[in-house]
Amino acid sequence: MTVQNYISGRTAVNIQTSVEAAVAAGRLRGGDLLPTVRTLAAQLDVSPATVAAAYRLLRDRGLAVADGRRGTSIRHAAPLLPPPAAPLPSHVRDLSDGNPDAALLPDLATAVRASAPEQRLYGDETINDARLLTLARKQFAADGVVAEQIAVVSGALDGIERVLREHLRAGDRVIVEDPCFTGVADLLGAVSLVAVPVAVDDQGLIPAELRKALRSPAAALIVTPRAQNPTGAAFTPKRARELRALLASRPELLLVEDDHAGPIAGAPYVTLRDASRARWAVVRSVSKSLGPDLRVALVACDAQTMARVEGRQTLGIRWVSHILQRIVAAMWSNGRTQTRLARAERVYGERRDTLLRELAKHGIDAHGASGLNVWIPVPEESAVVQGLLHAGWAVQAGERYRIRSAPAIRVTIAALERADAVAFADDLARILRPRSSGRAGAV
């Protein structure tokens, strides 16, 4: 799109205001490339320094991002309020929502009674529950994560956002997985950060691709060591060693590990952090294991990150509800909860493996080394999604997860029984058969 006609002004503020007006009117959209500094300066008959200052104002206001040699572009903004999903027909089975199986979640009512919630007032004791922190440190230590500093936040994405906001600024580059969890992709857009995609396979980030990304001036890396959403990738010890060796060349890089699935992931936790990493955070949510509505996540991190995150919390939400913190602590302390979590991990693994086997019988390539989802490459997403919907299955198109990777669909297996897995694989094979005589592809 030619955008020069929408930009005017003789001062940096006037130029910035004209660009904002063009965005508000829909004349400029996310991804539109702005003219180079020299080109626009010549057109407006102003100095390049004036245009550079205007672009800096746009970046500071979160409206534009700088992308190296490509120049400055209007950022893709996440919707302020996602449109409500249309209700599914009664005959359609929903395999699109990413939810855990409610039947496998621990007993909430018993935990509420055991937590003995009580009223707290402003200034009462500390912002975090001591019992919860003790239990969290034991869990992190068991996974090889030194957790001297732990912040309590309202879910994994809240934790990731707080860490990024305290260390990065608009226009910074962040290395992410491709495909990438939609929440992370939307978050980067919302805070004016630039995603640098790195392809993944079943073992996580591909070393050769990470090596290329590390040549860019990236400021951070967000990675999911297990139960990667949407592909189910999980680090093996060997892959993690390869990745740590590459990261050793960038000790200043902020490392953020998202362990959203925790104990029901179906794979051991393998960290990329080592002693040389000055800035780091491991975000562990309870949403998939204990229930999404609890809205609690623990952030193990370095001392500086801890101070910044908690300092900013005191200016906003102040603290995560002690009632929720105590419920989580009560659940973690209950032996029956641990038994139930072990069972959930086993059942999810069986359901995931069952679907992969059934798909393989039809020659359909699919991925799901861990977690609650299976990623299935397809020739064309829209046609497959619509075909499955007609057959009685709702799945997620891969478009929102992908940056450069090939088309695919995401299937949530959390509540998918064996008979349904057989039926789903049969229906998908029938839909794909007219379009492909071979395998559908790879991640």
Domain boundaries, the chain: 4-74, 93-102+337-432, 107-335
Q: Peptide bond before 100: cis, by omega within 30 degrees of 0?
A: no
* Residue-wise pLDDT tens digits, 230-274: 999 999 999 999 999 999 999 999 999 999 999 999 999 999 999
Average pLDDT over residues 368-394: 97
Give the chain's radius of gyration (CA, Å).
Answer: 23
Structure confidence by residue, pLDDT tens digits, 65-111:
777 677 888 876 644 455 667 788 889 999 999 999 999 999 999 99
The phi and psi torsions of 304 (rounded to 5 degrees) equal -65, -45
- What letter would DSSP give residue 27? S
pLDDT attached to residue 441? 43
Q: Alpha-carbon dihedral of residues 420, 421, 426, 428, nearest 10 degrees?
A: 110
- Nearest CA-CA partner of 393 in 91, 85, 92, 89: 92
* Range 4-74: architecture per CATH: Orthogonal Bundle (1.10)
Query: Span 278-289, mean pLDDT?
Result: 97
Q: Does the structural domain 107-335 have CATH classification 3.40.190.10?
A: no
End-to-end Cα separation, the chain, in angstroms: 32
pLDDT of residue 84: 67
Where does 100-174 have alpha helices with state H? 108-115, 130-142, 156-167
The pLDDT value given to residue 440: 46
Helix (H, G, I), strand (E, B) or coil at 403: coil
Instruction: Report the pLDDT averaged over residues 28-51.
Output: 90
Q: Which two tokens stand for residue 404?
A: 């450069």
CB contact burial 38-52 (16+ within 10 A = b; e otherwise): eebbeebebeeebbb
CATH code of 93-102+337-432, in short, is: 3.90.1150.10
DSSP summary character for residue 87: P
The bridge status of strand 72-74 relative to strand 173-178 is: unpaired
Count the helix, strand and coil residues of the chain and give each as a percent rounded to the nearest 5.
40, 15, 40
As a whole number, mean pLDDT of residues 173-191 equals 92
Quick one: which of 30, 400, 406, 412 has its CA closest to 183? Answer: 400
Residue 443 pLDDT: 46
Report pLDDT digits (tens) over 295-319: 999 999 999 999 999 888 888 888 8
What's the pLDDT tens digit per position in 321-369? 999 999 999 999 999 999 999 999 999 999 999 999 999 999 999 999 9
Residue 442 confidence class, pLDDT cut points 50, 70, 90: very low
